[in-house]
Amino acid sequence: MIALTGATGQLGQFVVEELLKTVAAKEIVAIVRNPAKAEALSKQGVLVRQADYGDQAALTQALAGVNKLLLISSSEVGQRAAQHRNVINAAKAAGVKFIAYTSLLHADKSPLGLHVEHVETEKMLADSGIPYTLLRNGWYSENYLASAPAALVHGVFIGAAGYGKIASATRADYAAAAARVISEEGHAGKVYELAGDNGWTLTELAALLSKASGKNVVYQNLSEADFTAALKGAGLPDWLATMLADSDAGAAKGGLFDDSKTLSKLIGRPTTSIEKSVNDLL
């Protein structure tokens, strides 16, 4: 059986959808915090098991009979390392034979602060003795498009990425890669640096928003500190504002760019362009 954590999350939902194209529902275990959110999966025949990243005993129980595990990284930045340790320990206890983990693009040398917990998790996997694959995901296009509505209202897209290129892809693109790796053989021991086929800057994103909406949108580059303050002023929690500004600053240093096209090679099709994502949004 194949299990995945965070099965009802933003990425997990797409992974389950992809898996169901080639894997029998009864062979898929969706590990979720809240089973009520997974009723649709249950109706499709997917095995839904409740477990929290913080509960190693429940995770061990949820992984009973599982051969392969897709560890989708926790969304709780700052708590990820401890939570991932629980999942890996549970996998060892349950006899899981293979783990695929959604890490961060070029985690070992990334300028993004987010890389720290991913590197810690990668080391845990290396020490676990369980065969594994690293899916080092780049940025989701949706991360930036979430700011598009406000940019259209104010005519300004703010950020701190300068002219750094961002090789993003959609969650569905990354999910297709994860589903393939976790359902096929022959991926153990590999590190996949996954990113969109084509890089773009926030200036270019603003131009795409202008073109698609008919409204004039310009990119305003801020310092990391000013961008953090602006995000907090918009109502974002301090930790999220700090993380997003740090990630933008990392993008300015090339942290969100990769031109290997590994993702499109893995999924057998081009990744979704930012232009298509903008047009679909609007």
Which residue ranges in the chain fall short of pLDDT 50?
Answer: none
Q: What contacts 280, CB < 8 A, 6 or more positions away?
A: none
**pLDDT confidence of residue 62:** 97
Residue 196: what pLDDT?
A: 98
What pLDDT was estimated at residue 51? 96
What would the two tokens of residue 44 be? 């499709």
Strands 156-159 and 2-5, how do they pair?
unpaired
Q: What is the pTM of this model?
A: 0.95
Contacts of residue 260, defined as CB under 8 A and 6 or more positions apart, other chains included, come to 193, 195
Cα distance between residue 94 and residue 81, in whole Å:
20
CB atoms within 10 A of CB 76: 13
Rounded to 5 degrees, what are φ and ψ at 23? -120, 135
